[in-house]
Amino acid sequence: MPFLRSALAGILRSGPLLWTLFVLWLGILFFFSSNESPKDMPTLLPHQDKVIHFVFYAGGACALAGALVRSFSLRGAWLLTATVAVLALAGALDEYNQQFVPGRQGMDPYDWAADIFGAACGVVILGRLRRVIEADGI
């Protein structure tokens, strides 16, 4: 576990790495948004697609919020607002793009809500991770 905390601390201290992770996240988002959904994907949970949206956007929020902290020293409400605004826009563009992809629906307000909620939770998760790492003196 100490190795994992140390590695995470290193990632959270590297602004360029966090920006790279966020740009990679955007690329993955665009790739999946522009392709058909797998038809044979098993359903493991009710509303599985909303869970996927939530988790994916929480991850994107961790990368973006970390980059904003390192690059612009944003904290608190400013960090939450900036991160959620950027990811809400990304989610809206994602939903808009999907309506033109064969086999995709797009423009689902519940997907967008899951994106926004996931982004907000991702910022909170990042804040808690940062506090744990700082408390350990890593």
Residue 127's Cβ-side half-sphere holds a number of Cα atoms within 13 Å equal to 14
Q: Is 99 helix (H, G, I), strand (E, B) or coil?
A: coil
Positive or negative: CA dihedral 22, 23, 28, 29: positive
Q: Do the Cβ atoms of 65 and 84 come closer than 8 Å?
A: no
* Euclidean distance between CA atoms 7 and 53, whole angstroms: 26
pTM of the model: 0.92
Q: Could you list the mean pLDDT of each consecutive 10-residue stretch along the chain, which spans 138 residues?
A: 81 93 98 87 87 97 97 96 98 95 91 98 95 77
